[in-house]
Amino acid sequence: MPQGNPKKIRSLARVLTISAGPAIASLIFGALATGKILWLPALIGVALIACLSTWQMMSENKIRATTDLLKKRAEEAERELERAAVFDAGIQPVTQWYGKIHQGDENYEMLRRQILDKLTETAGELVCPDALCAFYRLDTDQEELVLEAPSGNPGALPRTYSKNDGNGGSYMLFLATSGQGGFKFVEDIDRAHFDGADRVRLVNGYRTALFLPVTAGPTPQGLIVIQARKTGDIPAPLPGEILDGNYRKFYAIASLASLPRVRNQTNGQLPRQAGDNSARQGEPVILPHNE
């Protein structure tokens, strides 16, 4: 029986009870007064009272539905404000560390580690307190994903993903290297259908997940994996809005996590991204000219 039917049955029983009560009373008093059972007035009374009761019931249900909807929207708005505060608090130190890297700070590896740790911590906090989040670095041969920046319960996370590891590694590598961009959202692992030969394996007790490829320009760098215990903890993307408010935050985190493992500029600056024609320190600035 569908979940809504018991409520409908109870509401119908209530209408019938309210309607039948006065009708029975009118029949009894009519019979005592006239010695006859007056069916027509009783039936008219039942019909009128049934109509009024039904109208009242429908009005109450409408008010209740509107109240529930407003309450749900208020809770969602409050949650969005909480996520915005978490995101701002997490990104602020990251931007400061990025500034130090661009200024040529010698502690590049330490700053990179701090950035990755803070980003995965923030991504997990955007979901729920007990979420698992980790950045997996793609090795140079693109054959293995190595756990580099875990958040939550690091001991529960696989240390690596690789082809034929029996733990969904082939599909994880596909997500990190396919070059299709975007993200992979799994609402419920028990009902998920993937298009790869292997299937994603989540940590025991975790049912929903979000996979964010990390790239530096066209070059894949790794994969951010977020897992939660309850379906609904990870916000689902809004239909037709690929970059809704929540996913702008997740994309920003994935973009900021694209630091190369080794700084390969002597002047301390980061590698130039594809399409970046700005001059580096010491390079001549070439101004456009008209033919």
Q: How confident is residue 263, by pLDDT bands cut at 50, 70 and 90?
A: confident
Mean pLDDT of the chain: 77
Q: CB-based contacts of 123: which residues, under 8 Å, 6+ apart?
A: 133, 151, 212, 224, 226, 250, 253
Give the model confidence (pLDDT) of 159-183 as tens digits: 999 988 888 888 899 999 986 557 8
Please list the alpha-helical segments (H only) found in the chain: 5-34, 39-102, 108-125, 169-177, 245-256
| Sign of the dihedral through C-alpha 170, 152, 148, 120 | positive
The pLDDT of residue 209 is: 92
Average pLDDT value for residue range 35-41? 56
What confidence score (pLDDT) does residue 147 get? 95
Q: Report the alpha-carbon distance of residue 288 to residue 291 in Å, rounded.
A: 10
Q: Considering only 146-150, 185-189, 209-213, which range has the smallest mean pLDDT?
A: 185-189
Q: Is 27 helix (H, G, I), strand (E, B) or coil?
A: helix
Most confident range, picked from 18-22, 159-163, 283-287 = 159-163
Name which of 81-85, 130-134, 143-147, 275-279 the model is least confident about.
275-279
